Amino acid sequence: MIVLGIEGTAWNLSASLVDDDDVLCEASSAYIPALGGIHPREAAQHVANNIAGVIRQVLSSTDPRLIEGIAFSQGPGLGPCLRIVGTAARALSLRLGVPLVGVNHCIAHIEVGRWKTDLVDPIVLYVSGANSQVLSYRHQRYRILGETLDIGIGNCLDKFARSAGLPHPGGPKVERLAQESRNYLPMPYVVKGMDFSFSGIVTAATEALKSTSLEEICYSFQETAFSMLVEVSERALSQMDKSELLLAGGVGANKRLREMLSIMCAQRGARFCAPKSEYLRDNGAMIAYTGLLMLRHGIQTPIASSGANPSFRPDEVEVLWIETH
């Protein structure tokens, strides 16, 4: 089965064709803000201007008659972007006469991770700009065991980077600067059970700019925020009695975070895996592949219920494609 998937929830517009075994092709167009962070209207304008191009690119690589389904990111994400992606997906589905399937963006991150690593039943740490969650599969759903009580880790890094005058996206710059210091400045460490909060770190880090070197703040920022994420991941492994950890989402590219997770897993005898960075960041392949799994299990999205769902939570999706263990 070949499925075409379109991702467009925030910064990366991407279309891809996959079959059961692999990614056949992918075309992307990233929105890079000239100044500041992601502006929802401009991000949507970017999607509108480029969506025909990326779709045409992937369609040109195959005979469109071989495509058996159209998958699209239905949410969570920026409403104005999601609506354009949905419109394009509906048009394609009607034009090619193949089923439409709306995909939850978070679940797509998880499924592409399971596909591209060999983990079977992992605890998932999903960290991106807007989302930070710890999830675990049980009884046909990905359960959210813990999540941020305020902002996602990526937005947290970007927000601080912006107030420090660093260009968007801030995460990679903070990571580089953090390597230049070993002085730890205490910052708010907030973990409640398996939930956590980042807004206090942004305030503390921004405040510290007046008196502390940027390198020291970046180092302390990462050590504090990432320790929180690793701690809740470990608690999830322990409570659910699982022995695999999957890292998903764009912030998963951070080397220090990966190092900390692998140390934690090694100490408790768990396996730690993350897919390559092209499958960590937002990509069309993850939408196409999750759409393929859903279509294979008889799930389709009728036009009437294909509207954008900006606050779509992963635990709303009934997961029918995982064999019970």
Partner 1 sequence: MDRDTLEVVKGAEAVVALRGHSVVKQRVPKGYRIVELDTKLRRERTRLEAKIQSDARRAGVPTPIIEAVDGFSITMERIEGSPVHSVMNEAVAEDVGAVLCALHSAGIVHGDPTTRNMILSAGRVYLIDFGLSSYDRSLEARGVDVHVFFQTLEATDDRFPTLKEAFLAGYARNCSDAALILEKVNEIKERGRYL
The region of 92-100, 124-132, 152-160, 187-195 touching partner 1 under the rule CB under 8 A is 187-195
Distance between CA 9 and CA 22 in Å, rounded? 23
Output the smallest distance, CB 180 to partner 1, in A. 15
Q: Read off φ and ψ for residue 42, nearest 5 degrees.
A: -70, -35
Output the smallest distance, CB 299 to partner 1, in A. 19
Burial of 278 (0-12, 13-18, 19+ CB in 10 A): middle
> For residues 124-163, which are near partner 1 according to CB under 8 A?
141, 143-144
Residue 239 in the binding site for partner 1 (CB under 8 A) = yes
Residue 215 in the binding site for partner 1 (CB under 8 A) = no
Judged by CB under 8 A, the residue of 83, 235, 271, 296 near partner 1 is 235
Residue 192 in the binding site for partner 1 (CB under 8 A) = yes
Distance between CA 154 and CA 125 in Å, rounded? 13
Residue 238 in the binding site for partner 1 (CB under 8 A) = yes
DSSP assignment string, 141-191: EEEEEEEBSS--HHHHHHHHHHHTTPPSSHHHHHHHHHTT---------EE
> For residues 304-323, which are near partner 1 according to CB under 8 A?
315-316
Residue 49 in the binding site for partner 1 (CB under 8 A) = no
Residue 258 in the binding site for partner 1 (CB under 8 A) = no
Residue 271 in the binding site for partner 1 (CB under 8 A) = no
Question: What 3-state DSSP class applies to 254?
Answer: coil
Question: Which ranges of 61-169 would DSSP assign to H, the alpha helix?
Answer: 79-96, 105-116, 153-163
Nearer to partner 1, 7 or 147 (CB): 147
Nearer to partner 1, 258 or 296 (CB): 258
Instruction: Choose among 127, 126, 145: nearest CA to 137.
Output: 145
Question: What 3-state DSSP class applies to 16?
Answer: strand
Output the smallest distance, CB 112 to partner 1, in A. 24
Residue 227 in the binding site for partner 1 (CB under 8 A) = yes
